[in-house]
């Protein structure tokens, strides 16, 4: 059975994507493939916007800012093991090493011995790094491409979107954990 659904979207690239795929693959339900396509596109737009903003405002890249924000949200003494960082940020250990080297050179983080691991170390957010992370989070809340002043969603709709994204992430992360456990067994 061929399912076709009409999706009504505002004029723009998103509409072009939906209409093009609907013509090319009318046998598929657009809801099943548009979500990942749109999320990837949104991610790229948000990443590019953030990267430009962080470079202009703080002189650091988006991946570097993600490390600062991960350390800032850690609370306490604002430190984490490199392993915790690369797992949380879904990057390689080599990428974290390079990022930490750059942030350390800028005085935003420091490496400190890990008291619970003789040969290990912790990445610690400096006072300067904490200020940058706090300023960035404040700026992110009001001026990014997804800021409430720039998208046509009510607060209730934005809250629902956050809840749905969180639910998707929890489902995906649970599936990833289950796969890792299966592979280890």
Write the DSSP assignment of 128-147 as a string of letters: HHHHHHHHHHHHHHHHSTTS
Question: What are residue 112's DSSP bridge partners?
Answer: 122
Bigger pLDDT: 47 vs 128: 128
Bigger pLDDT: 44 vs 150: 44
155-174 mean pLDDT: 91
Determine contact, residues 51/62, Cβ cutoff 8 Å.
yes
pLDDT band at 2; cut points 50, 70, 90: very low
Among 116, 152, 139, 1, which Cα is nearest to 65's?
139
* Phi, psi of 7, deg, nearest 5: -110, 125
CATH 1.10.10.10 fits 13-152, yes or no: yes
Domain ranges of the chain: 13-152, 153-185
Bigger pLDDT: 59 vs 148: 59
């Amino acid at each position: 059975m061929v399912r076709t659904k009409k999706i009504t979207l505002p004029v723009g690239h998103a509409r072009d994507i939906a209409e093009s795929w609907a013509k090319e693959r009318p046998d598929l339900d657009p809801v099943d493939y548009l979500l990942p396509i749109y999320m990837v596109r949104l991610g790229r737009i948000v990443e590019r916007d953030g990267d430009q903003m962080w470079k202009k405002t703080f002189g650091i890249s988006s991946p570097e800012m993600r490390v600062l924000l991960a350390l800032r949200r850690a609370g306490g003494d604002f430190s984490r093991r490199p392993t915790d960082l690369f797992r949380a940020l879904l990057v390689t250990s080599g990428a974290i090493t390079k990022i930490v080297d750059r942030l350390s050179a800028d005085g935003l983080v420091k490496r400190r011995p890990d008291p619970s691991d003789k040969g290990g170390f912790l990445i610690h957010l400096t006072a300067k790094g904490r200020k940058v992370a706090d300023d960035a989070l404040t700026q992110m809340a009001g001026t990014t491409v997804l800021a409430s002043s720039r998208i046509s969603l009510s607060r209730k709709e934005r809250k629902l979107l956050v809840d749905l994204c969180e639910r998707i992430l929890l489902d995906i992360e649970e599936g990833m954990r289950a796969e890792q456990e299966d592979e280890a067994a």
